[in-house]
Structure 1
Amino acid sequence: MFLEQLKLITTFIFDVDGVLTNGDIIASDSGEFLRTFNIKDGYALQLAVKRGYRVCIISGGTGAAMQKRFEGLGIPDIFLGVTDKVAVYHNLLARHSIKAPEILYMGDDIPDLKIMQLVGLATCPSDAVPEIKAISQYISPYTGGKTAVRDIIEKVLRVQSRWFDENPSAADSGK
C-alpha cells in the first residue's frame, strides 16, 4: 500500500522548523532568528523541482534567509508566516489543479495536524510529536533537519524511477 501511494505523488509540501531544520532557533543580538539546513535535504529538494515535482514550503516561521534558501533551490511555492496552513493548502489545490492523493506532506508538530489529515500521504521525521506520528503513514528513521526530507523525496523518486541524476552539479544543494 505505501509503495503504491508513493507512485501517485506529484507534489511535496514541507513544514520548516522541525522538518527541514532540527527545530532549534538561534536568536541573534540583532533580533534575527537563525536556522541551519541540511545540504543533503537541499540536494533532494532541488532535484525534485528539476524532475518536475511541485515542491511547496508552508511554515509559520519567517525570515529573509529562509526565503532566499528556498528560492535558491528553485522552490516556487514558499509560504512563510502562515497562521492557517489549511487555507494555504486549499488555495494550492485550486490554483494548480492538484488532487489530495498526489500530495505528500511532512510535518512534525500540532500546527501540521489538520493539513496532514487532508493529504494523500502524511509523513514525519522520527522526532515528531506523538500526535503527528499517530496520523503519519510513514515515519522517517531520520530526525528533522537531519535528512528526513531527503529520505522521503528519495523514496518517491526511486519508486518512480526518477532519482538518479546523470549530471549532478556540486553547487545544486548549496544555493
Structure 2
Amino acid sequence: MTFFKERLKNIKAFIFDVDGVLSYDTSPLDESGDPVRTANVKDGFAIRYALQNGFQMAIITGANTQRVKLRYKKLGVEHIYLNSFQKMECLDDFIVKTGVAKNEILYMGDDLVDFPIMKEVGIPTCPVDAVPEVKAISMYISDKKGGEGCVRDVIEQVMRSQQKWFGQEIKGIKAD
C-alpha cells in the first residue's frame, strides 16, 4: 500500500468544489436570494502559485454565478464548470482537455454531490467540516474548514512533496 504522502508526488492536477470548500458552507443572501460567497485569499494565492508551477486546475460547482467564474478566471483557472450536478461529466471533459489521468488528480469536496467523483480520482480529500460520507472515502481530511484555507493546505502539501513550494525565487506573482 502506498502512503498518502507518497501519492502526493504523482499529482498533476487539482479539482475543487466551491461551496463548502473554496467558500464557507453558509452564506448571506443578496437582494435576489442568491448566496454571497466568500473567498479565502491564501487559497487564491496557492491556486495561482500551483498554476504558475505547471499544475492543471478545475473548479466544478453547482453554483451558477458569474462572480464565481470571474474570481477563478482572474486567478488563471481555465477549466470552470458552473451549474454542475453531474460532476463526472465535468471530470471526463477536464481529462480530455488536459490529458491528465484520473489517478493524477486530487479532488476536494465536502458534500454528497462530490461523492461519485471522489471515488474516481487519485486522491479524494475534504475539509474538516465535510459530511460524514465524504469523510469516510477521503484519503486526507484537512484540519481546516471550507473557506478557511483547506485548499491552500492540500496544494501546499502536494507542492512540498514535489519540492515545488517556494523552492525558487518568486517573480511576478501577485498576492490575491
Structure 1 segments (4+ residues) deviating >6 Å: none
- Whether contact under 8 Å (2:49, 2:173) holds in the other structure is no
Cα distance in 2 for residues equivalent to 1:74 and 1:43: 11
* Offset from partner CA, 1:33-53 (integer Å, 9 cap, x none): 311111100010000111110
State TM-score, norm by structure 2: 0.94
What pairs with 1:3-22 in structure 2 (closer than 5 Å)?
Answer: 3-22=5-24
Unmatched 5+ stretches in structure 1: none
Q: TM-score, normalized by length of structure 1?
A: 0.94
1:154/1:163 contact within 8 Å kept:
yes
Identify the residue that residue 169 of structure 2 maps to in structure 1: 166
How many Å separate the matches in 1 of 2:105 and 2:175?
A: 24
**1:168 CA displacement:** 5.8
Partner residue of 1:29?
Answer: 31
Kindly report which structure 2 residues correspond to 1:36-55, keeping only aligned pairs within 5 A, or say none: 36-55=38-57
Unaligned runs of at least 5 residues, structure 2: none
Aligned counterparts of 2:107 and 2:172: Cα–Cα separation in 1: 27
The answer to whether residue 71 in structure 2 is matched with residue 69 in structure 1 is yes
SS of corresponding position for 1:162? coil
Q: Percent identity?
A: 43
2:124 partner SS: strand
- More moved, 80-89 vs 24-33: 24-33
Q: 1:147 to 1:168 in 2, by over 3 A?
A: farther
What is the alpha-carbon distance in structure 1 between the residues aligned to residue 169 and residue 7 of structure 2?
26
The one-character-per-residue Cα deviations of 1:6-43 (angstroms, maximum 9, x if unpaired) are 00000000000000011112211144431111110001
The one-letter code matched in structure 1 to 2:135 is K
1:120 aligns with 2:122: yes
Tell me which amino acid in the other structure corresponds to 1:167.
I
| CA deviations over 1:103-124 (Å, ceiling 9, x no partner) | 0000000000000000000000
Residues 19, 61 of structure 2: 8 Å contact kept: yes
Q: 1:110 — aligned with what?
A: 112
Match of 2:59 among 48, 57, 60: 57
**2: distance between equivalents of 1:16 and 1:40?**
15
User: Is the 2:56–2:98 Cα contact (8 Å) retained in structure 1?
Assistant: no
Q: What's the Cα RMSD here?
A: 1.4
CA distance in 1, matches of 2:173, 2:161: 24
- Hey, what's the Cα distance between the residues in 2 that align with 1:20 and 1:26? 16
2:81 corresponds to: 79
On the 8 A contact 2:58/2:94 being kept in 1, the answer is no
SS at match of 1:12: strand
Question: What is the one-letter code of the residue matched to 1:25?
Answer: S
